Amino acid sequence: MKTISIRELHARTGRWVREAAEQGQILVADNGRVVVRMGPETATPETPYFARRQFINRKMKRWIESGELGRGGTDVTPGMSEDRADRA
């Protein structure tokens, strides 16, 4: 793994970026202390994580897909407002 200074990176940015893409990681140091790692871009997954996840509970999955999840229920806003008014 190659280590270069910020000054070298600034002077020849294109060269170092291409070299990192072809040969792997390059470390960039500021006053002898490594501050950045440059490396080739890794392939990103085709679909985001949340689109790839699997539901563990099949019953829950069927419930969500059926559209029943958003139906019914009680609006708790009035009760919460009353509770807050009592505290004030």
Q: Tell me: domain 2-38, CATH 3.90.550.10, correct?
A: no
Let me know how many helices (H) and strands (E) the chain has, helices first.
Answer: 5, 3
CA count, 13 A, side-chain hemisphere, 24: 3
The residue among 27 and 59 whose pLDDT is bigger is 27
Whole-angstrom distance, CA of residue 22 vs CA of residue 29: 20
Q: Note the pTM of the prediction, 2 decimals.
A: 0.47
Does residue 60 have a pLDDT over 70? yes
Residue 63's pLDDT is 76
34-47: string of b/e by CB count within 10 Å (b at 16+)? Answer: eeeebeeeeeeeee
- Residue 55 clears pLDDT 70, i.e. is over it: no
19-28, 35-44, 69-78: segment of lowest average pLDDT: 69-78
